Amino acid sequence: MKKIQAITLSAKWKERIFLLTMMAIPVAHFLVFFVYINLDTVALSFQSLDRSPSSSGEYIFVGWQNYREIFRGLTSPYSVFTKAIRNSLLLFALNNFVLLPLGILFAYLLHRKMPLAGAFRVIFYLPSIVSIVVLTMLFSFVFDSTNGIINPVLERLGLGHIIPEDGWLRSRDTAMKMVLLYCFWAGIGGNIPLLSGAIQRIPEELREAGRLDGVGFFGELWHIVIPLIGTTVSTLYMFGTTVIFTIFLQPKLLTGGGPDGETYTIALYIVESIRESGELTMGATVGILCALIGTPIVAITKRLLEKIFPTYEY
């Protein structure tokens, strides 16, 4: 009996040691890459690199100086940070109020077996699975002033006067429009697979009942399909909201943020401020402000979406 108890106790200790070992990795990851990094970011936002001749490159406490510089920049219409906020909000509007509604419409059309539905499914989704580096290169080549195909076509149509002298991606008037056009082209099909999967899970009986009651195409879409895929729609909307603070690779690859900061986003501003200044303090300051502003925005958006799109069991 004692031998059996000893074996059972040993097995329990081995199980506990195994569980503790397996938990050690995610706990250490959380402590280092979340707790420590965020606390260090808060500390850095109140510091600045000591650039005095006698300094050894240490960070010194400067109080609210970094925050004051950020808010001073917000009051200037020519501030790069002001442009970054504007562009980030434009990309948010494009993602949530243009691409997402179009994604719902196209997913529904594909589900209704529109003509050439299979071909359109590939066309819509293909840009989403190709590397963003390849896509930006392709987009840049198309609008290139020397070898691109857009300029010769416009000239043959008698529209050569609208071609910017500095190029589509280097002109102050067209650079951000090109970034928006690229994001529209590359992102229009990104939501379709998720939305299509959600639509396919709707019982066919519900749509058939609506058709028997005389519900038309748009009535079925608005009153039956969208409410029943509301959980997916709200999730995609939440992801789209984070675009305000996260998108930077598209303008970085297309325009480098230029000309004169016209295509900067908030995330690109953080990256470039660290690269140009060689210190982390201003990037940390902007990151803290984004967290303070973005967290309540995301929380409020989530609550509103839960009311607009309640969860239905079907």
Mean of the pLDDT values across residues 206-217?
78
Over residues 185-202, the pLDDT tens digits come to: 888 888 888 888 888 888
Nearest to 104 by CA among 209, 203, 190, 184: 190
Position 314 scores a pLDDT of 54
H or E element that contains 61: strand 59-61
Position 259 scores a pLDDT of 87
pLDDT-based confidence at residue 117 (cuts at 50, 70, 90) = low
Cα→Cα distances 199→108, 116, 314, Å: 7, 19, 12
What would be the CATH architecture of the domain defined by 65-308?
Orthogonal Bundle (1.10)
Task: Quote the CA–CA distance of 167 and 65 in Å, as a whole number.
Answer: 39
Task: Quote the CA–CA distance of 103 and 29 in Å, as a whole number.
Answer: 36
Position 5 scores a pLDDT of 56
DSSP 256: T
Q: What would the two tokens of residue 238 be? A: 């939440």
Task: Quote the CA–CA distance of 149 and 33 in Å, as a whole number.
Answer: 46
Task: Quote the CA–CA distance of 186 and 250 in Å, as a whole number.
Answer: 10
Over residues 11-30, the pLDDT tens digits come to: 677 777 878 888 888 889 89
Mean of the pLDDT values across residues 224-237?
88
Nearest to 80 by CA among 88, 293, 48: 88
Task: Quote the CA–CA distance of 181 and 167 in Å, as a whole number.
Answer: 15
Task: Quote the CA–CA distance of 62 and 69 in Å, as a whole number.
Answer: 12
> Domain residues of the chain, as ranges?
2-44, 65-308
Q: Residue 47 forms beta bridges with which residues? A: 61
